[in-house]
Amino acid sequence: MKVKIDSNAYYLPEKKEGDKDLLLENPDWDISKIAEKTGISTRSIASSSQTAVDLAYEAGIKLLKDVSSKEDIDLIILVTQSPDYVLPTSACILQNQLGLSKKCMAFDINLGCSGFVYAISVVSSLIDSGVAKKGLILCSETYSKYIHKNDRTCRPLFSDGASATLLSGSTSDNIGPFVFGTDGSGYEKLIVRGGGAREPKNIEDSSYGLIEMSGSDIFLFTLSSIPACINMLLDKSNLRIEDIDLFVFHQASKLVLENIIRTMSLDKDKVFINLKYVGNTVSASIPIALKDAENQGQLKDGDRVMLVGFGVGLSWGATLITWRNT
């Protein structure tokens, strides 16, 4: 599609949590073994008063300070699974806070680790069809609020953070094609049960509102679905692995990414990983990785980049972008 990424930015909360902090509260944990699997040593944690909207606002402000005219932005999407309210739509709140035009479309996408790829497809389609001129994608999560302090599966993995990505029309085909997939039979593999209409709030249940994740099942899902997804996208694009300049996967964990690299026989130098000091920021992980890759000189104008998101749902999506092309 004749759409391009104009700019992107991200925000991580000031509070940091390291492996030593985990060990102080959980002295029975084998921190070195956990760190070897996750590849993460530091996570960012939202304060008790910070919400997903707050983080998204900070990322949006960072991006907008370099935008010549925010009046041209007529679409805003927030990708989150930790909204401030059941209703209204959090994107509507952000439209007002960021001072965007009242002619702006605003809505949320309730997706996790694949959410950024889905949002790109929606925004690109609306711009390519002439419905919108410029679209702002905000990805923001505060998963830490859903994690028990003694959860050795989720706590060492997930980090809070937000990203902002601005898309606009282009004279070249810079985005696409797309490949998507869903396996709803695995919805219980990563779930927050309490609080919805199916299982309303139960104040007597101490596990109410907390994440339940079967790490082994998520790992097996990734290995069975993502290589096939990558191959489908290559076939759809008439490209080979060697034609991709950089792979940016959802930053799930070191174990997951290393197994994808090995299964697909990828060149490690072409796979960007920033897990160590960022953590798994769910829907924000791919756009944060893109910004870090650019800042570190691993992403250059004109590079062909494959983006692959996967996780909660179970859901996955992949696309190709040409970086900073006109």
Q: pLDDT value at position 198?
A: 85
The pLDDT tens digits of the residues spanning 121-150 come to 999 999 999 999 999 999 999 999 999 999
Q: What angle do CA 187, 138, 213 make, to 5 degrees?
A: 25
Two structure tokens written together for 268: 């490690």
Cα gap 232→75, rounded to integer Å: 30
Q: Which domains does the chain have, with CATH numbers?
A: 3-171 (3.40.47.10), 176-322 (3.40.47.10)
Taking 60 as the threshold, does the pLDDT of residue 203 lie above it?
no
pTM of the model: 0.95
Q: pLDDT value at position 201?
A: 67
The pLDDT tens digits of the residues spanning 242-297 come to 999 999 999 999 999 999 999 999 999 999 999 999 999 999 999 999 999 999 99
Q: Tell me the mean pLDDT in the region 208-235.
A: 94
Catalytic residues: 113, 250, 280
Q: pLDDT value at position 205?
A: 59
The pLDDT tens digits of the residues spanning 68-123 come to 889 999 999 999 999 999 999 999 999 999 999 999 999 999 999 999 999 999 99
Q: pLDDT value at position 206?
A: 58
Q: Tell me the mean pLDDT in the region 216-226.
A: 95
